Amino acid sequence: MGRPDLGTLARPAARGMTTAPSPTDTGETMHDSSFIVRIGHFKCGTTFFNQAFFPQHPQINFLGKPFPQGDAMWTVLEQIAGLRDFDAAFCRGEVAARLETGTPERRLAALSDGRFAEPRHPDFDHLPERLKQVTGPNTLILFTVRHPVDLVASLYTQSVGTGKTRDSFQKWLDDNWADNQDILGMISYGRVAETFARTFGAERLLINSLETLRAEPAAFARDLAHRCGLDEARTVALFDQKPRNRRMSRLQTRLSASPALYGLARRLWHALPDGLRPLAGRLSGHGQAFVPEIPASVRHRILDSSRPEIERLCAVANLPAARLGFDLDAPPAG
């Protein structure tokens, strides 16, 4: 059997779709979409989308990531991201092969890669064109953003918790502002949106924030279902079950260089009598969320750089800033 055309296999006959408008609906309906691609960012609901939503939805054929070690789809995404030489025929062939395993019920194919929203990668301006050659023009781009200070704080917390840095927040930010992790590029929301809109059209961008996802998961789910022609009840049910990642504790960050020691400390805490646990938690930091100290000058630095990007983002999507669910003039929710 030859490999099928992407436009036909990714979009079998839909069954039982609902199209009721949602409270956050933009007025656009994308029932012709054969692909949904989530382009980021990291720390913006990635775990939920890649583990609890896309693979679990009965109408979505999730192609990753993550992937098993050595999977050819990893090469496909790296080629699209500009990290390897791009071979359109190879990428389309691999995607088509995965879609052959789909069923008529799984009518919408999905990919997810946070690197697609990082301008630091080579030839970023042509990334959407490479993606379009692989997934086709009927692709919906899901772009989830976050209050920029909260995003940067979360990235720093992850670096501390995984033992990658012991530096202060300001030192870490200086080292990663335009180099290494390229924080400045990660909060360039407007540039990312404009780049994808030039290729796919602004009407195929679905922009939302982590804050909105947390505050109104059902409304977000109804909007997504309406835009993609997914069953609303099934979609809302998965969002209603959305877990929130447990905050990293102060103890965990202190012992980040020794996971085994952290595991031992947790076991010792659980072995204590109930009456001693609150005191032990206060003294050790176990169960107390790690909140990085961000100097006011550093916070203003992040905000001053992100304000024009938020404005560009909202202009591209014709989106009122209030719809993002955060106020740059107020402290982030964390």
* pLDDT, one tens digit for every residue, the chain (334 residues): 343 444 433 333 332 222 223 333 444 444 567 899 999 777 888 888 998 999 999 999 999 887 777 889 999 999 999 999 999 999 999 999 988 877 778 889 999 998 999 888 889 999 999 999 999 999 999 999 999 999 999 888 888 877 788 888 999 999 999 887 789 989 999 999 999 999 999 999 999 899 988 888 999 999 999 988 899 999 999 998 765 555 555 555 654 545 565 566 566 656 778 777 676 666 665 666 667 788 899 999 999 999 999 999 999 988 888 888 888 876 555 4
The answer to whether residues 64 and 127 belong to one domain is yes
The answer to whether residues 73 and 169 belong to one domain is yes
The answer to whether residues 241 and 266 belong to one domain is no
313 assigned to some structural domain: yes
d(CA 67, CA 101): 16
329 assigned to some structural domain: no
CA dist list (Å): 307 to 154, 190, 204, 228: 19, 10, 24, 30
9 assigned to some structural domain: no
The answer to whether residues 127 and 259 belong to one domain is no
Tell me if residue 296 falls in helix, strand or coil.
helix
The answer to whether residues 83 and 194 belong to one domain is yes
The answer to whether residues 255 and 212 belong to one domain is no
CA dist list (Å): 26 to 169, 236, 325: 38, 18, 16
Q: What is the CATH number of the domain that holds 48?
A: 3.40.50.300
16 assigned to some structural domain: no
3 assigned to some structural domain: no
CA trace torsion 177, 181, 186, 187 (10° rounding): -30
290 assigned to some structural domain: no
Q: How many domains does the chain have?
A: 2
d(CA 295, CA 293): 6
d(CA 35, CA 168): 42
Range of the domain at 273: 250-284
For the record, the structure tokens of 159 come out as: 């670096």
d(CA 213, CA 29): 20
The answer to whether residues 279 and 320 belong to one domain is no
15 assigned to some structural domain: no
The answer to whether residues 274 and 302 belong to one domain is no
333 assigned to some structural domain: no
For the entire predicted model, the pTM comes to 0.78
The answer to whether residues 265 and 310 belong to one domain is no
The answer to whether residues 203 and 312 belong to one domain is yes
- Cis ω before 278 (30° cut-off from 0): no
Contact assessment for residue 221 and residue 239, using Cβ atoms and an 8 Å cutoff: yes
Report the relative pairing of strands 35-38 and 108-112 from DSSP bridges. parallel
The answer to whether residues 202 and 219 belong to one domain is yes
Tell me if residue 228 falls in helix, strand or coil.
helix
The answer to whether residues 196 and 218 belong to one domain is yes
